[in-house]
Chains A and B, each alone.
Chain A
Amino acid sequence: MEITFTINNEKRSLEVSPHQRLLDIIRKDLGLTAAKEGCGKGECGACTVLFNGEPVASCLVLAPQADGAEILTVEGLISREGELHPLQQAFLDTGAVQCGFCIPGSIMTGYRLLQDNPEPKREEVRQALAGNICRCTGYQKIVDAVQLAASRMQSGGDSSWAQDL
């Protein structure tokens, strides 16, 4: 069947089969390989993307469900000029990235959190990221990164990032 959806502000149409997963079409058909498969069972969060504005485990979403959907991946956070989103920059600056496998998923969850809660407390960041497993960092620096991004975005460093994608 053919489905049409918007991904990272770009309209795409694809021929998919009913058993394909959203993660497969993003990674294989569209070649957007940032989202990763860690478990294939919705446990690890490495495949997190925003789906109609909400973070989902894209390994648990069937491709046909994406018909008409709006999808955002970490590739879509970079500005046209190639500038990093404050969250990406903050993950870099705080040393929150080690092996990096969980990072695209963690950033997307953090992105959604900051839309609702621009000044999250540490505990709120932990709660939001509870579904994104990281085996390297022990989470401290990931929480630091989300809070650093929040404070930079609050201080109005660059308000253009507040746009709703």
Chain B
Amino acid sequence: MGTRFVGKKVNKVDARQKVTGEAKYTEDLVNDFADLLHIRVLRAPHPHAYLREINVEPAREVAGVVEVFTAADFPELTEFGLIIKDQPVLVGIDQKMRYLGDALALVVAETDAAALRGRDRIELEIEELEVVDNPLRSMEQDCIQIHEDHEIEVTHYLDPEMCCDNILSDNYLDKADVKKGFAEADLIVEREYQTQFVEQLPLQVEKGIADYDEESEEIIIWAASQWLHDTQADIAQAMGVTKDKIRIKQPVIGGAFGKKEDISVHIHLALAARELKRPVQLIYNREESMIAQSKRHPQIIRHKTGVSSEGKLTAWQTEMIMDTGAYASSGPAVVRNAMFHCTGPYQAPNVRAACYAVYTNNTYCGAMRGFGATQMAFAYDSQMDVIARELGMDPADFRMRNAYQPGSTTPGGEKLELGVNVRETIAEARRLSSWREGDNNA
């Protein structure tokens, strides 16, 4: 084993540049370009509507505006997305905007002020549709379909009557026999929990610069990404070019926490740089970052738990409905991750779970620290407290009685052998918080 670093305190390699201010984040590179153009994005004025007409001529007349791009300028564009390609680069005529962050036009100007003036002069005609802001509404039979052009295959599971038109993905698991487990229970507790949108809020918002090399036909992008090669591949497929034409030079990143897994400024920058053959910048402000980029998924979590009078779990059934917002992003992976954490670190011999990621017209949701497990943690540990109270047991004791140990199996059937520390964690939490048995009754 190496002895240079293991067990030793080592300074972060780039910490010195960060305490002196020498570290170069994207926005610090703008001074390196003499003739940088500014982009501003016109975003959807309504969260669910057809774009019927767009008139960019008034924007072109603004002094300083160099060019205005819409979907009509790029018929070759295809949709993009981390797992499912369902997000438009620019919404075209007779296409739908599905949330307030959808891009309708790119205004490129000599100054940011001119780009803003131009953006605000673009004239639109839209046909407004029902705004679906609640995933429960999304799952009703008479609800408008948000992605009618995307085939969604869903296996009916807990509820055969459920409408699947707006379901992005469903997942389910069975471990042993949940019916038998409920039959063995002395007490069955059913509760519903809800979590909310959370903004990752990295201190640095989305920003980027792009340039075009006419000789090699390469587009060079300076912008943060958490998936450098996926981002490169997605930009290339959306633009219909080969990957070697897209070069991403990653500057120092001012925080991400999952929010920068999704494409933000990248394709818009690439298009403008290539068309105008000049370096361009696109700098979001905080409001734009909040409206246009991903959030933590809100989840509606329904737990039904069977327990013996001695405090041993016999059955655990979970139904979870996750608002994935307007686009898939990481949704299909987040919903799965949440599902496999449905019982947390507690051993339930019989488990059934069905979890749905559902489209709405809310800002799309994606990755954030914990990736779905965090929402589930709130729900299963709340459920454990409710059950302990109903059994009249100390909640720490009740957890100890059901906590994983080596040899336990997870809801997904994975046998745990090493690193099973939940009992030690509960004991330590008890010690540090001076928790004594019976304190919950105080």
Contact = CB atoms under 8 A, between A and B. Distances in A.
A88 B286 CA distance: 28
Contacts of B25: 33, 36, 101
Contacts of B257: 135
Interface stretch (A62-70, A90-98, A156-164): A90-98
B153 interface: no
Nearest to A106: B19
Interface stretch (B247-255, B314-322, B409-417): B247-255
Nearest to B16: A92
Contact of A84 (B19, B30, B201): B19
B248 to A, nearest CB: 18
B64 interface: no
A75 interface: yes
For chain B, which range describes its interface: under 10, 10 to 19, 20 to 34, or 35 or more residues?
A: 20 to 34
A99 B26 CA distance: 13
Interface stretch (B7-15, B114-122, B271-279): B7-15
B31 interface: yes
Contacts of B17: 100
B15 A100 contact: yes
B255 A91 contact: no
A44 interface: yes
The SS class assigned to the A binding surface is: loop
A97 B415 CA distance: 38
Nearest to A107: B19
Given A88-B19, A92-B19, A39 B255 contact: no
Contacts of A93: 11
Interface in B228-281: 252-257
Binding site of B, secondary structure by majority: helix, strand, loop or mixed?
A: loop
Given A36-B25, A135-B202, A103 B255 contact: no
Given A33-B31, A36-B25, A136-B255, A100 B18 contact: yes
B27 A100 contact: no
Contacts of A75: 20-21
A136 B12 CA distance: 14
A23 B343 CA distance: 50
A101 B15 contact: no
A74 interface: yes
Contacts of A136: 255
B54 to A, nearest CB: 29
A21 to B, nearest CB: 13
Nearest to B20: A78
Contacts of B291: none
B28 interface: yes
Nearest to A87: B19
Given A84-B19, A91-B15, A100-B15, A135 B27 contact: no
Nearest to B204: A101
B150 interface: no
B20 A74 contact: yes
Contacts of B285: 40
A79 to B, nearest CB: 11
Nearest to A90: B19
B165 to A, nearest CB: 37
A2 to B, nearest CB: 21
Nearest to A105: B203
B415 to A, nearest CB: 34
21 contacts: A28-B30, A33-B21, A34-B20, A36-B27, A39-B286, A41-B286, A74-B20, A84-B16, A84-B19, A92-B19, A95-B11, A98-B255, A99-B203, A99-B253, A100-B14, A100-B15, A100-B18, A101-B203, A103-B18, A134-B203, A135-B257
Interface of A: 27-28, 31-41, 44, 46, 73-75, 78, 84, 88-89, 91-93, 95, 97-104, 107, 133-136
